[in-house]
Structure 1
Amino acid sequence: MTAIAGKSARAGIIGLGYVGLPLAITIARSGFSVTGFDIDPEKITALDAGRSYIEAVPAEALAAETRAGRFRSTTDFTALSECDVVVICVPTPLTKQREPDMSYVVKTAEAIARTLRAGQLVVLESTTWPGTTDELVRPILERGGLRSGVDFFLGFSPEREDPGNRDFDTATIPKVVAGDGEAASALMQAFYGAVVKATVPVSSNATAEAVKLTENVFRAVNIALVNELKVLYEAMGIDIWEVVDAAKTKPFGYMPFYPGPGLGGHCIPIDPFYLTWKSREFELPTRFIELAGEINSAMPRHVVSQLAEALDIRLGKALSRSRILLIGLAYKKNVPDIRESPSLKLIELIEERKGSVDYHDPFVAEVPATREYMALKGRRSVDLDEQAVRGYDAVLISTDHDIVDYGALAQWSPLIVDTRNAFARRGIEGGNIVKA
């Protein structure tokens, strides 16, 4: 506690991705010394050269903390022994069977266990099922004979990053914290209280884990609801966007959610299924969550069907003989993050139906390697100019980046299928624009 209060404690952050790197720099900026750990040597090389690969961490912020000696990075996990606080920020994906893949957490816990020493505080930030910290991580750490709450301390604090959100960052988002016992809870509050604007203590690690899942289940279910309403209102000839815009003028009892081509990002498409998996242990159904997953997962196929129908009715052309330009590969606007992006599924579905598809994304120059879409690796964003656009039969708006010239697209393309209401929101009208 004294080392944390005096900021002489060294923090180790394992996993320098969208969560870990912003957290590491935030901790360093607050005055602690930080060592970042990652198994990817390319990340370490980039960081050593002062290059940030995460938009939320400007290169100048990285350089400032590195020059001050408060941040360094390595692939050498034996250096964990030097850290007083160790924070786990590794992926928690799903298997193809939609079950939790805890391999990253397990391997990381095993790496920590090899150098674990008395007095260390170990924190899990990866989103997971309630009980993971105490039931999975703690036994691994205790294999060497040290005991949680006695020799070392164990806590959970869910990440709350929102890529592209200019209003909040790691330091200003309230941090839910919990610990395995009173001593661990006190250490969690002291450490994160020195780093972020406000902490929100809860009674147990399992409760903190449930908080994160509840936040994402809430969004997934409400997005599924508005997606389902969109399909229904389309059949009725009603514009879902107009409905939502009018409904949100009610000053109480309503919160706007918007439809789209499917869910993206690491959290909302994945995290709710961690709770459905855990619920089986208690023989309790999670019907809302599972139905929301079915609805949201079906949206890319619905969009492609609408695209095919628009091509047939408007241009008299089959999708199998059409060239499509997809706008936006990232899962949300104004960010380069393609994790779980529905755009990838849209490309796959169009090509399954023998259509030809290219993409334009000002934030994603080339498709990186992904677990599910390796066939798309290496494809590059095409230029968005008049000659190029006129060479496509239709433009499909999947992600509505602000810097795209929608007025020009409306003039150049014979058919636009808009899943984000991008044109109407900008006051752009045209008989060639179809909402989907």
Structure 2
Amino acid sequence: MSGSNQTSLNQNAQSLFDKIENKSATIGVVGLGYVGLPLAVEKAKAGYKVIGFDVQEKRTDMVNQGINYIGDVVDEELVEYTQNGTIRATTDYSLIKEVDAVAICVPTPLDTYQQPDTSYVESSGKEIAKYLHPQMLIVLESTTYPGTTEEVLKPILEGTGLTCGEEIFIAYSPERVDPGNKVYNTKNTPKVVGGITPSCTKIAASLYRNVLEGDVHEVSSPSVAEMEKILENTFRHLNIALANEMAILCNKMGIDVWEVINAAATKPYGFMAFYPGPGLGGHCIPIDPFYLTWKAREYNYHTRLIEIAGEINNSMPEFVIERSMQILNKEKKPLNGSRVVVLGVAYKKDIDDVRESPVLDILEQLKEQGADFVVVDPHVKSFKLGEEVVEPVGLSNDVLKEADLVLLTTDHSEFDYELISEVSPVIFDTRNALKDYKKPEKYYKL
């Protein structure tokens, strides 16, 4: 939005804008998870005093002790900023009265009916409203459906009697966090910002420009910013579904889907490579497109493509189990009673996050089929499978040799792929992780 620099500001807006520009503003971050904690650290690095808020006392205690629990945060930086008092964390939301700007970074899950659960946003908004004051910026970062900022958050905040664009300033700027990405992080990823009024946009954009190295792209409204975030994740959702469907068909036709995709990727235009896998996981891709599906019903529109893609992606764990049965049948073994070594439970490589991991579904189905399975994951200390707590074991010769089937589900860099290739009697590789290694005779790919 090129004209935003010329946006005229009233006295409240100008005062807040100046505080942000000269870095005398105190910044609050509500929710100290995978989005909030890295953002808090970046704001401290930029020269702002930061107060982090979270309902989990364990988290706030860890932050105050300089104990890091998020992969995208540098341990030494957290220690430095907590020790010098630049960052402090609390469960006491009354300290909101001390901040000039606050970012809301709380979960927005789906409920049991696949409908958006905005309760965390609403409760955060209500806590902020108790201590809201003029000359304050509130930015929602949580991924959600178009309209949330204006339809849910704004009425809560304006219920205090303070008017958006006059005394308080509200914007939406979607988080763009890719856990485990070695190139892009909170600091250098471009940011999209949409305020309810031009003044809101200008003030929010100023904060992010003072904190981040990535470009800050201004849009005309929070709804545009909310929709573009859903588009980003739906794009990945649909293309991964296409890759998964190609994998199923290629398997039936006896064609190597990985070779097909790599061949298509030689085209310098009109194609972007996406790869199949055992299913979708994480906090975004399996969930976010369904915010749009839910919202579309309000306009009497049915998002058929998104829902079909969801069906394909959700069916992949079952496809992995079916293939595992077929592979074991060739060995004249049933899945029931077979020893299956599952390599990786995290939803993607080189992280410890098991949220929405398709491997959990695979493990549940292995359990139902009577398989004797063991999990190996160097990044995950323990995880819950139903009501049971499972502790992964270490990778070793003995673990691999004793397997009837080695099922490779997460392609962690830490895995010793030479050992896996040499020792495993039968391998089913759902990630093409062994593409650069010598394959055993009994090697199968997705």
Which category describes the TM-score, using the shorter chain as reference length? over 0.9
> Which residue of 2 is the match for residue 79 of structure 1?
95
How far apart, in 1, do the equivalents of 2:212 and 2:74 lie? 19
SS at match of 2:50: strand
1:389-432 alpha-carbon deviations (Å, 9 max, x no partner): 22221111110101111221222222111100111x22321212
What is the deviation of 1:68? 3.1
Preserved contact between residue 410 and residue 432 of structure 1 (Cα < 8 Å): no
1:331 aligns with 2:347: yes
SS at match of 1:263: coil
Preserved contact between residue 24 and residue 36 of structure 1 (Cα < 8 Å): yes
1:102 aligns with 2:118: yes
Selected match of 1:9 from 17, 25, 34: 25
> Which residue of 2 is the match for residue 430 of structure 1?
440
How far apart, in 2, do the equivalents of 1:384 and 1:129 lie? 42
SS at match of 2:204: helix
> Which residue of 2 is the match for residue 166 of structure 1?
182
> Which residue of 2 is the match for residue 208 of structure 1?
225
1:290 aligns with 2:307: yes
How far apart, in 1, do the equivalents of 2:98 and 2:360 lie? 42
> Which residue of 2 is the match for residue 396 of structure 1?
407
1:263 aligns with 2:280: yes
SS at match of 2:387: helix
Runs of 4+ with >6 A deviation? none
Q: Give the TM-score of the pair, scaled to structure 2.
A: 0.95
Q: What letter corresponds to residue 172 of structure 1 in structure 2? A: N
Note the 1:33-432 alignment, pairs <5 A.
Answer: 33-197=49-213, 198-313=215-330, 315-367=331-383, 373-376=385-388, 378-423=389-434, 425-432=435-442
SS at match of 1:146: coil
- Percent identity, aligned pairs only? 45
1:265-321 alpha-carbon deviations (Å, 9 max, x no partner): 1010000000000000000111111111010000001001101111111x2111111
1:364-394 alpha-carbon deviations (Å, 9 max, x no partner): 0111x5xxx4424x31111211112222211
SS at match of 2:373: strand
What is the deviation of 1:356? 1.9
SS at match of 1:337: coil
How far apart, in 2, do the equivalents of 1:171 and 1:58 lie? 12
How far apart, in 1, do the equivalents of 2:335 and 2:32 lie? 41
The answer for unaligned runs of 5 or more in structure 1 is none
How far apart, in 1, do the equivalents of 2:147 and 2:223 lie? 5
SS at match of 1:144: coil
How far apart, in 2, do the equivalents of 1:8 and 1:68 lie? 16
What is the deviation of 1:58? 1.7
Q: Give the TM-score of the pair, scaled to structure 1.
A: 0.97
1:344-378 alpha-carbon deviations (Å, 9 max, x no partner): 111111111121222110110111x5xxx4424x3
Preserved contact between residue 155 and residue 177 of structure 1 (Cα < 8 Å): yes
SS at match of 1:282: coil
SS at match of 2:298: helix
Preserved contact between residue 50 and residue 88 of structure 2 (Cα < 8 Å): yes
When the two structures are aligned, how many residues end up with a matched partner? 429
Moved more, 216-225 or 384-393: 384-393
1:215-269 alpha-carbon deviations (Å, 9 max, x no partner): 0000000000010011011111110000011111111111000000000110100
The answer for unaligned runs of 5 or more in structure 2 is 1-16
How far apart, in 1, do the equivalents of 2:376 and 2:67 lie? 25
How far apart, in 2, do the equivalents of 1:361 and 1:73 lie? 31
What is the deviation of 1:97? 1.4
How far apart, in 2, do the equivalents of 1:415 and 1:308 lie? 12
